């Protein structure tokens, strides 16, 4: 573990949603404490409704907590920013822009455009994400996996040190999902960005993470934390992998 200050430092975070439609108040996050160091691949795993998206949205600056601290580089998170790139489950691309234009626009919006190398940076990133041959294509003519790769390409282009990912592969078929998991690990190994990745799949978390935070719902709490030291690329059919999977699932009572 690094001695450096953590890049993400969450302390005593609480968040409730008001009662509505005859439903009681939902304690979405109950005393969440979480520290993440630079370069770590962290998975937040748990069943539907345990507060994963709520936590990620607070980190991204899209929502605020009721109490507690959410620090990014030791400063309270107040708003969204290019230092925390976000990939959602549903693709959030500009449908009227080509693949290349989506990447260039993100760079312009983040103030990363205009250098002599900008065009070659786009080429390099599109190549890395397997999209160079599709640079003039509109998102509607891409497959779901390609759209998610484009969403990742945009974050790489603006060079966000942190990637916040909320079930980014949840809508994909299992073969495409496996391929994108491999792609993501390849990108992460090459860049050592800090990744905070939300999933409800124990298998996905164990395949990807250095460390897994397991949450349970109502109230949304952290109930387990596991370090995954299996060498990469990981084999989901191995005995060690399955032993970890049993432990993760047991901690959420399944
Ligand atoms: N805007 C909102 N208003 C009221 N309740 C909400 C709101 N957003 C989330 N909740 C409630 O807070 C709890 C946590 O929701 P959250 O979306 O964070 O869960 P999640 O772990 O991301 O679930 P999923 O795996 O289904 O995406 C849920 O019980 C949900 O109903
Ligand atoms: Mg969610």
State the pLDDT at residue 56. Answer: 95
User: Which residues, other chains included, contact 246 with Cβ-Cβ below 8 Å and sequence gap of 6+?
Assistant: none
For ligand 1, atom 29, the nearest C-alpha belongs to 49
The residue that leads in pLDDT, 173 or 232, is 232
Residues within 5 A (CB) of ion ligand 2: 53
**Ligand 1 atom closest to residue 57's alpha carbon, by position in its atom list:** 18
State in Å, rounded, how far the first CA of the chain is from the last one.
31
Distance between alpha carbon 117 and the CA centroid of its chain, in Å? 28
Q: Is the CB of 105 under 6 A from ligand 1?
A: no
Q: Could you read off the pLDDT of 116-144 as tens digits, one per residue?
A: 888 999 998 899 888 999 999 999 999 88
Mean pLDDT to the nearest integer, 212-225? 96
Average pLDDT over residues 230-245: 96
Question: What is residue 169's DSSP assignment?
Answer: T
Please work out whether the CB of residue 51 comes within 6 Å of at least one atom of ligand 1: yes
Task: Give residue limits of the domains in the chain.
Answer: 89-160
Cβ of 48 below 6 Å from ligand 1: yes
pLDDT-derived band at 91 (thresholds 50, 70, 90) equals low
Q: What pTM value is reported for the model?
A: 0.92
- The CA 28 to ligand 1 mean position distance, Å, reads 7
What distance in angstroms lies between residue 252's CA and the mean position of ligand 2's atoms? 16
Q: Output 221-228 pairs: Cβ under 8 A, ≥24 positions apart.
A: 221/30, 221/31, 221/32, 222/32, 222/33, 222/34, 223/251, 223/252, 224/248, 224/251
Q: What is the pLDDT of residue 81?
A: 87
Could you give the 3-state DSSP secondary structure of residue 181?
helix
Measured distance CA(148)–CA(91) in Å, rounded: 6
pLDDT at res. 198: 97
What's the length of the chain? 254
Per-residue pLDDT tens over the stretch 22-69: 888 899 999 999 999 999 999 999 999 999 999 999 999 999 999 999
Condensed to tens digits (0 to 9), the pLDDT of residues 156-198 reads 888 889 999 999 888 788 888 898 899 889 889 998 899 999 9
| CB distance 53 to ligand 1 below 6 Å | yes
Asked whether 49 lines ligand 1 (CB < 6 A), one says: yes
């Amino acid at each position: 573990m690094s001695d450096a200050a953590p890049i993400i430092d969450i302390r005593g975070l609480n968040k409730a949603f008001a009662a509505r439609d005859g439903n009681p108040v939902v304690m979405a996050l109950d005393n969440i404490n979480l520290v993440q160091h630079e370069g770590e691949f962290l998975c937040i795993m748990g069943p539907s409704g345990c507060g994963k998206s709520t936590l990620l949205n607070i980190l991204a600056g899209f929502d605020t907590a009721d109490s507690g601290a959410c620090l990014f580089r030791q400063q309270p998170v107040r708003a969204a920013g290019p230092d925390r790139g976000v990939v959602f489950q549903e693709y959030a691309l500009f449908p009227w822009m080509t693949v290349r234009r989506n990447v260039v626009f993100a760079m312009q919006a983040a103030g990363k455009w205009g250098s002599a190398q900008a065009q070659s940076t786009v080429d390099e990133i599109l190549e890395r994400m397997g999209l160079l041959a599709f640079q003039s294509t509109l998102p509607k003519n891409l497959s779901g996996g390609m759209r998610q790769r484009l969403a990742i390409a945009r974050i790489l282009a603006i060079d966000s040190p942190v990637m916040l990912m909320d079930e980014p592969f949840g809508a994909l078929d299992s073969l495409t999902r496996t391929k994108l998991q491999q792609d993501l690990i390849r990108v992460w190994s090459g860049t050592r960005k800090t990744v905070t990745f939300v999933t409800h799949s124990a298998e996905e978390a164990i395949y990807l993470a250095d460390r897994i935070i397991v949450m349970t719902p109502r109230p949304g709490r952290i109930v387990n934390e596991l370090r995954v030291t299996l060498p990469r690329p990981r084999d989901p059919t191995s005995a060690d992998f399955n032993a970890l999977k049993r432990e993760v699932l047991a901690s959420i009572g399944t």
